[in-house]
Amino acid sequence: MRLAALLFCLATPLAAQQEASDAANQLQAANALLQAADSGRDQIKALTETVRAYEAGLVAMRDGLRKITIRENALNADLTDRREELAQLLGALTTISKTPSPVILSHPQGAENTARAGMLVADMTPALQSQVDALATQLQTAKDLRAARITATDTLTDGLQGAQTARAALGQAVSDRTDLPLRFDQDPVQSALLIASAQTLGDFARELSTQTPSPEINLTANGDLDLPVAGIVAAAGERPGININAAPRSLVTTPVNATLLFNGPLLNYGNVVILEPTADVLFVFAGLAEIFGRPGEILTAGTPIGLLGGTPTPVDSILTENEASKTGQAQQTLYLEVREGQSAISPDAWFALE
């Protein structure tokens, strides 16, 4: 098993380094987008694309760095386990190199044994050379992996900082924006009364929709909308919607043109965002740490509506976490519920859940 793991490590370091290199290119492209977004014509759109680019690049870089680290550790462990064997090899090579050729090929018991000694040395030399070549390859691979790990670690650190800067800039740009069209002006007193009287999320959404004008857009449920955040879909227990498990600080966007009916804390759901894409249809999102926009705004598809909470995994933890723990570490959950008329329906009527 150890030999198989070693052969795998030797066969694939270039692939791992290529993955890390590709991820680094993604992060560099994201940084270029961030610089250009400062003067972009549509700053919010540009920053949204920037955050998405950082998210994709960071995922790829984490994966590449993790693979490099695993292979480097396996290779170093094999070299450590073979320390005695390698010491004997180096000792034999040292002895041979210091012994004059006539002495190696001679034998005190006569010419016949001298010939046999010569044949033995001739047979042994290629085998030793093969082991030397294999050792040199391992040592060079270990050196290359270490250099790739250091470079990838630095790039990932810069990428995490860049993503944080991009998210902050996006939040500020959304806050400063005043040119979005409004379908209605929110009545804060009425909203407060609705929140105070609501017993369930469904009650609140139902009452809210009856007090706002219906949009003129007519959409059809085709089950092909992208999820509002990149993640893994899971059941939501007794709730009628679904949970989307995503990375910390992931950006949440509206999947389709819609009116922002409500955003703010509600019951035990945390921050809730309610969108109305068409008459009598509501998309309800819950669990955001930060929310963008104000009720009444008409949002185009892809407009940011908030960020998930949590703290991105530190670089040092990425280097030491294993496959069993990484999938659940620091995951954040966005709750998604779809309502038509007076009741909740399966989200797959509108969204491509797979």
**What DSSP line would sit under 287-308, residue for residue?**
EESEE-S-TTBEE-TT-EEEE-
Q: Is 42 helix (H, G, I), strand (E, B) or coil?
A: coil
Question: Which strand (E) or helix (H) includes residue 242?
Answer: strand 242-246
- Stronger pLDDT, 21 or 108, i.e. the higher one: 21
The mean pLDDT value of the chain amounts to 80
The predicted structure's pLDDT at residue 251: 96
- CB 300, CB 179: distance < 8 Å: no
For β-strands 304-307 and 271-278, DSSP reports them as unpaired
Residue 50 has pLDDT above 50, yes or no: yes
- Stronger pLDDT, 122 or 273, i.e. the higher one: 273
The predicted structure's pLDDT at residue 121: 54
The predicted structure's pLDDT at residue 3: 36
Please, which pLDDT band fits residue 288 given cuts at 50, 70 and 90?
very high
- CB 156, CB 318: distance < 8 Å: yes
Please give the average per-residue pLDDT across 133-146, as a whole number.
80
Residues 151, 159: Cα–Cα separation, whole Å: 12
The predicted structure's pLDDT at residue 346: 94
The predicted structure's pLDDT at residue 292: 94
Residues 202, 199: Cα–Cα separation, whole Å: 8
The predicted structure's pLDDT at residue 301: 93
The predicted structure's pLDDT at residue 259: 93
Max intra-chain CA distance, the chain: 112
- Stronger pLDDT, 321 or 63, i.e. the higher one: 63
Please give the angle made by the CA atoms of 252, 352 and 262, to the nearest 5 degrees: 40
Residue 66 has pLDDT above 80, yes or no: yes
Q: Residues spanned by CATH 2.70.70.10 within the chain?
A: 188-349
pTM for the full model? 0.77
The predicted structure's pLDDT at residue 125: 59
Q: Which residues contact 222 (CB under 8 A, 6 or more apart)?
A: 350
Q: What percent of the chain has pLDDT over 70?
A: 77
For 157-211, what is each residue's pLDDT tens digit? Answer: 888 899 999 999 999 888 888 777 787 777 777 878 888 888 888 888 888 888 7
CATH fold of 188-349, please? Glucose Permease (Domain IIA) (2.70.70)
- Stronger pLDDT, 56 or 285, i.e. the higher one: 285
Please give the average per-residue pLDDT across 249-274, as a whole number.
94
Q: Which residues pair with 332 in a beta bridge?
A: 246
Residue 286 has pLDDT above 80, yes or no: yes
Residue 278 has pLDDT above 50, yes or no: yes
